[in-house]
Structure 1
Amino acid sequence: MKAQVFRGVNQLNYEEVPVPELQSDEVLVQVRVVGLCQSDIKKICYPLYEPPRIYGHETAGVIAGVGEDVKGWQVGQRVVVMHHIPCMRCGYCLNDNFSMCEVYKNITTTAGFTPSGGGFAEYVKVPGHIVRSGGLIPIPDRVSFEQASFVEPTSCCLKAVKKAQVSPGQTVLVTGAGPIGLMFIMLVKYFGARAIATDLIPSRIEKALAVGAEAAFDARDADLQQKVFSLTEGMGVDTTLLAVPSDKAFFQALHCTRKGGKILFFAEFPDEVEIPINPNILYRREIDLMGSYSSSYRLQSLAADIVFNQRIDVDALISDRYPLQKLAKAVEQAIKPTPDTYKILIYPQATVG
Structure 2
Amino acid sequence: MKAQVFRGVNQLSYEEIPTPEIGSDEVLVQVQVVGLCQSDIKKIRYPLYEPPRIFGHETAGVIAAVGADVKHWHVGQRVVVLHHIPCMHCGYCLNDNFSMCDVYKTITTTAGFAPSGGGFAEYVKVPGHIVQHGGLLSIPDHISFEQASFVEPTNCCLKAVKKADITPGQTVLVTGAGPIGLMFIMLVKYFGAKAIATDLLPSRIEKALNVGADAAFDARDPDLSAKVQDLTQGMGVDTSLLAVPSEKAFFQALDCTRKGGKILFFAEFPDEVEIPINPNILYRREIDLMGSYSSSYRVQALAADIVFSQKIDVDALVSDRYPLRELAAAVERAVTPTPETLKILIYPHESSAVSLD
TM-score, normalised relative to structure 1: 1.00
Matched-pair identity in %: 84
Distance 2:223 2:349 in 1: 49
Distance 1:259 1:19 in 2: 56
Report the equivalent of 2:140: 140
For residues 63-212 of structure 1, the aligned pairs below 5 Å read 63-212=63-212
Deviation string for 1:168-191 (max 9, x for gaps)?
000000000000000000000000
Deviation string for 1:321-346 (max 9, x for gaps)?
00000000000000001000000000
Distance 2:236 2:342 in 1: 28
Report the equivalent of 2:291: 291
Tell me by how many angstroms 1:350 deviates: 2.8
Report the equivalent of 1:222: 222
Q: Secondary structure at the match of 1:53?
A: coil
Q: Counterpart of 1:91 in structure 2: which amino acid?
A: G
Tell me by how many angstroms 1:349 deviates: 2.1
> In the comparison of the two structures, how many residue pairs are matched?
353
Tell me by how many angstroms 1:159 deviates: 0.1
Distance 2:309 2:350 in 1: 26
Q: Counterpart of 1:193 in structure 2: which amino acid?
A: A
Distance 2:306 2:214 in 1: 21
Deviation string for 1:285-315 (max 9, x for gaps)?
0000000000110100000000000000000
Q: Counterpart of 2:272 in structure 1: which amino acid?
A: E
Report the equivalent of 2:350: 350
Distance 2:101 2:266 in 1: 19
Are 1:56 and 2:56 counterparts? Answer: yes
Kindly report structure 1 stretches of 4+ aligned residues shifted beyond 3 Å. Answer: none
Q: Secondary structure at the match of 1:173?
A: strand
Q: Counterpart of 1:256 in structure 2: which amino acid?
A: C
Distance 1:10 1:208 in 2: 31
Deviation string for 1:124-164 (max 9, x for gaps)?
00000000000000000000000000000000000000000
Report the equivalent of 1:265: 265
Are 1:308 and 2:308 counterparts? Answer: yes
Q: Secondary structure at the match of 2:350?
A: coil
Q: Counterpart of 2:3 in structure 1: which amino acid?
A: A
Distance 2:302 2:215 in 1: 27
Q: Counterpart of 1:160 in structure 2: which amino acid?
A: A
Deviation string for 1:197-227 (max 9, x for gaps)?
0000010000000000000000000000000
Q: Counterpart of 1:258 in structure 2: which amino acid?
A: R
Deviation string for 1:84-141 (max 9, x for gaps)?
0000000000000000000000000000000000000000000000000000000000
Distance 1:19 1:57 in 2: 17
Tell me by how many angstroms 1:27 deviates: 0.2
Report the equivalent of 1:246: 246
**What are structure 1's unaligned runs of at least 5 residues?**
none
Q: Secondary structure at the match of 1:192?
A: coil
Report the equivalent of 1:322: 322
Distance 1:287 1:298 in 2: 26
Q: Secondary structure at the match of 2:60?
A: strand
Distance 2:330 2:301 in 1: 30
Q: Counterpart of 2:150 in structure 1: which amino acid?
A: F
Distance 1:72 1:349 in 2: 27
**What are structure 2's unaligned runs of at least 5 residues?**
none
Distance 2:295 2:89 in 1: 17
Distance 1:187 1:272 in 2: 31
Q: Counterpart of 2:116 in structure 1: which amino acid?
A: S
Q: Secondary structure at the match of 1:220?
A: coil
Q: Counterpart of 1:269 in structure 2: which amino acid?
A: F
Q: Counterpart of 1:273 in structure 2: which amino acid?
A: V
Report the equivalent of 1:43: 43
Q: Secondary structure at the match of 1:59?
A: strand
Distance 1:50 1:247 in 2: 30
Deviation string for 1:66-98 (max 9, x for gaps)?
000101100000000000000000000000000
Deviation string for 1:256-293 (max 9, x for gaps)?
00000000000000000000000000000000000000
Distance 2:331 2:166 in 1: 32
TM-score, normalised relative to structure 2: 0.99
Report the equivalent of 1:255: 255
Distance 1:154 1:22 in 2: 29
Q: Secondary structure at the match of 1:168?
A: coil
